[in-house]
Structure 1
Amino acid sequence: MWGNERSFSLPLWAALVVAAGAGAVLDAGFPDRDWWYLAPVGVALMFLALLGRSLATGLLVGLVAGLSFWLIHIFWITLYLGLVPWFALGGLESLFFAVGLGLTAVVLRHGPRVWPSIWGRLGVVPVIVAGLWTAREAISAVWPYGGFAWGRVALSQSESPFGPLVAWVGLSGLSFILVWLSALAVQLFREPELGRTLRKGIAVGAVAVVLIVPAWPTTQNGEVRLAAVQGNADAGLFAEYSPGQILQDHTSATLPLIGEKVDFVVWPENSSDIDPTRSQGAAQVLDYISTEMDAPLITGTITKPDDTYYNSSLLWEAGRGAVDVYDKVHPVPFAEYMPDRAFWRPFAPDLIDLIGRDYGIGTRDNIFDINGVLAGIAICFDIADDQLVHEMIDDGARVILAQTNNADFGHTDESVQQLAIARLRAMETSRTVVNISTVGSSAIITPDGATLDSLPTFTSGAMVQTVPLSDTITPAIVAGRGFEWLVSGLGLAGLALCARSARRRRHR
């Protein structure tokens, strides 16, 4: 079974054990542990478990690895929604994992025969493997029902030396690079004839080549002074509160700021639990805040302009009301709306019925012109959507306001995972990102990924800061999803060649 190290293959039971451990190791690379260096280790262990596997056993190994990773990574879902939604979402994402790693097993087994030279095995196979991983992440981020762009390997690197690479290659590109390093390490393990010193040298050299890429320079072309308010409101999906309580909490947290000179005030998602476009009382409260602060107010609320509910952000000016509106483009399926309700209801009617109203999908642009400052608006899950982020930068956003409501997830990892996405978006776009939550984690992130200010979770307070504005365009924004398409295409093309080689071998 062993032969030489190139034909190394674990027994199936051992491969499944390694795969289960690998999923846990990969999760440990994410916030809040943030042991970022473990993320590529977890990926490498998955590939190690795949060596010598067929497509069928590769699918099994991938499923175990996926379940191990996802059921740990999104355990925060159980806090309010229980075990069924947690296992349903984790199971769905694990199926993507299983297919991706099953196909990767084919490449790892037959790739060295398709590219038999040493540089083919070390230079091509890791690229194909990383391309397949990137393709799997890209597909699951947009499909089904708009996808779940969570758990991408890149998102583990928000505070690592690899993080600044996101400005060059985007999130998909950063995932590709990290997985390429993991695949290269596994391929070097399979090449004992190179000698231990040479193999270590190649591995260290590959990491060094990646890390010497300089951070993309940001040119500041202005600044704005803002106040971002965290009301510490009990704004969870199943919270019991009197109407107007969340609005009052954010009003109370803002009143101590009166007298501060700011250009605008930002409140989080759902910070006004009464729609000020339909309630004179709520409108008067927002008018008062805008008047006393002598500045526009950006606030989240639920609107219903016709027969459809929207999760909306309003740009409010005293005496004028909502001068601009953004309706959330990426409402979360099975939370903010129930897709195919008639189909899913028989499986868990009590849970499905908890989603009493379906939010519509917004069609407005995600840019507010705040007295000449163009701000990109992202409501909660929007910040994880590559397309929406690229669109706001293409439309001229010079700062990003990421409004969110994390009250449903308590002290779990969800809020810090989302903050990690916001930090990477700051570096990717070369923009200041104001991540403001009802309860935390709230922080102002500068274009280099540093934290300018932050607030403790579940504490009422505000961040008042002068932040840089920028219209720098990074290579990641210029390329859009081009790099993702390129490396995914390489992965799929390489897979096709390996599959053809496998068929020929079976025929012989």
Structure 2
Amino acid sequence: MSRLLAASAGGALLSLSFAPFSWWWMAPIALALFSAAVYGRRARAAFGLGFLAGLTFFLPLLTWTNEYVGAVPWVVLAMLEASFFGLAAVMVALVGRLPAAPIWAAAAWVAAEALRGAVPFRGFPLGSVAFGQADGLFLSLASLGGVALVGFAVALCGFGLADLARRVLAARRPVVDGSATIGPRALAMPAVLTVVPALAALAASPAVGTDAQEGTVTAALIQGNVPQLGLEFNAQRRAVLDNHAERTRELAADVAAGREPQPDIVIWPENASDIDPFRNADADAVIDSAVRAIDAPTMIGTLETPEQGDIHNTVVHWDPADGPVDIYRKREIQPFGERIPLRGLVSAVMGVVNPSIRIPDREYQPGDTPGVFAMGRADVGVVTCWEVAFDHRVNDTVLAGATVLAVPSNYATFGLTAMSEQQLAISQVRAVEHGRAVLVAATSGISAVVSPSGTVVSSTDLFTADALVAEIPLRSTTTLATRLGAGPEWIISALGVAAAGWVVIGGVRRRRLDRSSAVREAAQP
């Protein structure tokens, strides 16, 4: 029973390190409980305990998923992702008796998160431990080794804490039958492994660059908001477009009156115009009029919806003089949102769960190149909404020359849930990881300006029309994390898998030797 409670509490406490609570310091405590639950267990028992911890983590974390499609997909998704906690638990249990076990256990944790971020359906990286550290001590490590190093440090701290607690409790037990006691030297290793990650994070803090290397620009983020529900579909789309155009014109009026500075770049959110301006002259005219009014190169989130052929979630670089001059097509298409894996099965299930939801005939198709727009002095890298959670999508955008990152997003269907806060936290981690200011523009909030140090400079409320105007630094040097790319994740994961494999191979060899010995003994007269 105590192990069940520890696993349940570990998952629940880990969810508290994420928004809306953002109690980052809960993560090491949660992972210590996770380790205590699975220590010394066989694979099947460890998987079950890990799965339980995963459920108590993902169910509260992902409550926003049931806003639109109901409870069944929410629970199914939580169960699928919880299975990766089960896998992590098996590996953590396997390496638990190795020398310096917390190191191998932390590496195994990173390996399980890496796998979860890649499969199935191209992965689901939300809920990675590092994304709960946006306001925490360990954030500075992101500039050295990215999300993998942050996750490794948090896990090492937690698993070291669990190992230290086990040894302290063992040392306090009375000596029976002359068994050896645990002395101070045995406590030194886990104590060091618990403290070192925090000290490393403190040492890394001064290395996080935030200064403007290529000058500064004034950026404006437009949050037009979405209208009240009840409108017919096309009217709803047009209202969203009109809201963003109107809020842009209001900002232009404030600039003309001297109440706001003239922006150098303007960012509209994802889906600001769900009416394709390349096919619809009225949408083209509305956008062009707003961009001319603000008189600045503007990023427009829209859709490409030709009568035949591929449809795309697209961001357009719209110039006030020349109109559309460049496009970026979203490369990481959200499963069960923008594309439907297992279409036949999903259609059948949704027909029972919520018949009012219609599965679209055509799916969004991914783009194939990073998006960097030359908007005046700024080279603006585009990472659309869901993509910000994928390490390689942000990394290759920075390597393509981005001096600032923009994250046009749409959270409107998730209502007043913590989804927008959770994704803003990911943008904070990315800011530190790559040493770039990040501009998050959302249709209905939260829009935010994030400094290269990960600090939220300004932000909007949910479901309000607003505009943020801020001076941001442009940076061209790359952090060590940017240059290393996926290297730290691969190395750390390989260590964890190798350690678990070593234990498995050793166990197989011992069992073979035991069987051989038994056979020889039985053969003796």
Q: Pick from 429, 439, 445: which aligns with 1:440?
A: 445
Give 3-state SS (helix, strand or coil) of 1:477's partner: helix
Q: Distance in 2 between matches of 1:203 and 1:480?
A: 25
Q: Pick from 206, 209, 212: which aligns with 1:220?
A: 212
Q: Compute the displacement of 1:489 (Å).
A: 0.6
Q: Compute the displacement of 1:504 (Å).
A: 3.6
Aligned to 1:261: 262
Q: Deviations over 1:174-226 (max 9, x none)?
A: 10111011111122223331349857853664255323323224242211111
Q: Distance in 1 between matches of 2:157 and 2:469?
A: 41
Q: Deviations over 1:260-280 (max 9, x none)?
A: 411121110000121111111
Amino acid of the structure 1 residue aligned with 2:201: L
Written as runs of structure 1 = structure 2, the 5 A alignment for 1:486-505 is 486-505=491-510
Written as runs of structure 1 = structure 2, the 5 A alignment for 1:278-293 is 278-293=279-294
Q: Distance in 2 between matches of 1:392 and 1:164?
A: 21
Distance 1:204 1:491, change over 3 A: closer
Q: Compute the displacement of 1:141 (Å).
A: 0.7
Q: Pick from 70, 73, 92: which aligns with 2:58?
A: 70
Aligned to 1:26: 14
Q: Pick from 230, 239, 242: which aligns with 1:245?
A: 239
Amino acid of the structure 2 residue aligned with 1:178: V
Q: Distance in 2 between matches of 1:417 and 1:379?
A: 15
Written as runs of structure 1 = structure 2, the 5 A alignment for 1:387-402 is 387-402=392-407
Q: Distance in 1 between matches of 2:8 and 2:227?
A: 37
Aligned to 1:231: 224
Written as runs of structure 1 = structure 2, the 5 A alignment for 1:146-161 is 146-161=122-137
**Residues 223 and 468 in structure 1, CA contact (< 8 A), matched pair in contact too:** yes
Aligned to 1:307: 309
Q: Deviations over 1:26-79 (max 9, x none)?
A: 101111101110011111101100112101100111111111111111011111
Aligned to 1:41: 29
**Residues 228 and 463 in structure 1, CA contact (< 8 A), matched pair in contact too:** yes
**Residues 236 and 407 in structure 1, CA contact (< 8 A), matched pair in contact too:** no
Q: Pick from 309, 316, 319: which aligns with 1:317?
A: 319
Amino acid of the structure 1 residue aligned with 2:358: L
Distance 1:235 1:316, change over 3 A: farther
Aligned to 1:3: none
Give 3-state SS (helix, strand or coil) of 1:323's partner: strand
Amino acid of the structure 2 residue aligned with 1:326: Y
**Residues 277 and 321 in structure 1, CA contact (< 8 A), matched pair in contact too:** no
Aligned to 1:354: 358
**Residues 266 and 298 in structure 1, CA contact (< 8 A), matched pair in contact too:** yes
Identity of aligned residues (%): 32
Aligned to 1:465: 470
Give 3-state SS (helix, strand or coil) of 1:188's partner: helix
Q: Compute the displacement of 1:229 (Å).
A: 0.7
Give 3-state SS (helix, strand or coil) of 1:471's partner: coil
Aligned to 2:69: 81
Aligned to 1:449: 454
Aligned to 1:339: 341
Q: Pick from 358, 375, 378: which aligns with 1:373?
A: 378
Distance 1:197 1:330, change over 3 A: closer
**Residues 121 and 335 in structure 2, CA contact (< 8 A), matched pair in contact too:** yes
Aligned to 2:521: none
Q: Distance in 2 between matches of 1:203 and 1:130?
A: 11
Distance 1:137 1:50, change over 3 A: same
Amino acid of the structure 2 residue aligned with 1:41: I
**Residues 160 and 190 in structure 2, CA contact (< 8 A), matched pair in contact too:** no
Q: Compute the displacement of 1:242 (Å).
A: 3.7
**Residues 331 and 366 in structure 2, CA contact (< 8 A), matched pair in contact too:** yes
Choose 1 or 2 for highest CA Rg.
Answer: 2
Aligned to 2:485: 480
Written as runs of structure 1 = structure 2, the 5 A alignment for 1:30-179 is 30-108=18-96, 111-112=97-98, 120=99, 123=100, 125-179=101-155
Give the TM-score taking structure 1 as reference length: 0.91
**Residues 235 and 408 in structure 1, CA contact (< 8 A), matched pair in contact too:** no
Q: Distance in 1 between matches of 2:384 and 2:469?
A: 21
Give 3-state SS (helix, strand or coil) of 1:311's partner: strand
Q: Deviations over 1:427-485 (max 9, x none)?
A: 11100000111111111000011122111221111011111000121010111010111
Q: Distance in 1 between matches of 2:290 and 2:366?
A: 29
